[in-house]
Chain A
Amino acid sequence: MPIGQTLPFTAVRWDDVLFVVLAIMLLGSALLVVTMRDIIRCGLAMIASFASLAGIYVLLGNPLLAATQVLVYIGAISILVLFAIMLTETKNAPTRLVFQTQAWVGAVAAVVIAAIIAGTVLTTTWPSTGAVAWTATSDIATMLFGQYVLPFEAVSVLLTAAVVGGVLLARREPPAGKEDRS
């Protein structure tokens, strides 16, 4: 039997519940990313936040983006970050201080930025349709390989360059004469 539009016995819509749950997960895990002591756990929390965001993309009617989020962020970037953590973290790694001395200034700045964004958003009247429009994957494909084919190709060049750059930078012994120290 299909479940209703709303929570049983209330006027609260399932969508809203889902949104709130996902938002709490997203913000919570994000906070953990920036506050936890152990950097491995930070990385894991980051995966959680990426996953929550993928859920929110689904709520926004964009399954392709959600899939891409999972594939790229969780599947590639997170793994990359975890590898980097493992490469740099040594046994005697200084875990004594997680935060900079300027952390409190950063916190104040972050709060102020949040306030400014929220204030701006809430005081602005958007010409919104009021409902989420479903985004079909086929539409995206049409547009990406039609109108946006040039940026698409540019991105592919960028990715190639990034791969080459990453390999060059991370090499143990930079080839003599090719490095640019200036």
Chain B
Amino acid sequence: MSSSLDSYLVLSGLLFSIGTFGFLARRNAISMLMSIELMLNAVNLTIIAFGAFEQPLHVHASVIALIVIAVAAAEATVGLAIVIAIYRNKKTPLVDEYDSMSE
């Protein structure tokens, strides 16, 4: 099982779905950001799995994953800063109350 690409990919898919659900369902902005992290992790897992099992992608996948991690870090920084800025304005972390775009 641990030597089958399929199991890693399915695991990644499940993780991604959980992240998706979290992003769509949670009301808290920070929860949504955490869900995004989960989804990014799922993607990373996919990349690493392919790198481990597919000879042409070997090592390349690791580099790509590293870059993804760096980008994720940047995204988290900016994302959280935005959440904090909005929170200061709206006095609430709940995303469904951020509806000024509908006006």
Contact = CB atoms under 8 A, between A and B. Distances in A.
Direct contact between A and B judged by beta carbons closer than 8 A = yes
Contact of B26 (A77, A80, A98, A167): A98
A88 B87 contact: yes
A7 interface: no
Interface string B39-62: 001001100110111110011101
B16 to A, nearest CB: 7
Contacts of B94: 94
A109 B24 contact: yes
Interface residues of B, number: 76
Contacts of A106: 20-21, 23-25
Given A84-B84, A140-B62, A27 B11 contact: yes
Which secondary structure dominates chain B's binding surface?
Answer: helix
Contacts of A109: 20-21, 24
Contacts, number: 260
Contacts of A128: 4-5, 53-54
21 contacts: A23-B11, A30-B15, A33-B22, A33-B31, A34-B18, A34-B25, A34-B35, A39-B30, A46-B34, A60-B49, A84-B33, A105-B24, A106-B25, A109-B21, A113-B16, A121-B10, A126-B5, A128-B5, A128-B53, A133-B55, A169-B81
Interface of B: 1-31, 33-35, 37-38, 41, 44-45, 48-49, 51-55, 58-60, 62-63, 65-67, 69-78, 80-85, 87-88, 92-94, 96
